[in-house]
Structure 1
Amino acid sequence: MARAHNHAAAKDNLAAIRSFQGRREEAEQLLREVVADHPDDLAARCNLANLAILDGDLE
């Protein structure tokens, strides 16, 4: 279980890097994978919401 959670954290961190690189579509895909596998991962959900806000998608 801890190993799976660390994998999710690694994907979350990679998504942040991709976002800073301007590769938002890749970042969004990574975060969606984390949320699909770990729906209770609040950090991934917040980061996905932040991407939406940065893209102006407020709906």
Structure 2
Amino acid sequence: MLGTDISDKMLKTAKYRNPHPVIEYRCTAMEDMEMPDETFNTVMSSLAMHYIRDFILIVKKYTRP
């Protein structure tokens, strides 16, 4: 499981609230992430999509056949 946020402060809060050893946390913008095909089977976003400048680009980036 991978949790990401552009804010280091938010990641620190997430780590404190969810300290499970299988969760990896990364400070990065979703626009900048590059992940190989078949890395994930589900992508979720909470309280972030309204900050995206090009929503369609993000959807295309993370939607894979």
Q: Could you tell me the TM-score, scaled by structure 2's length? A: 0.32
- Structure showing greater Rg: 2
Higher strand share: 2
Higher helix share: 1
Structure of higher RCO (CA pairs closer than 8 Å, 6+ residues apart):
2
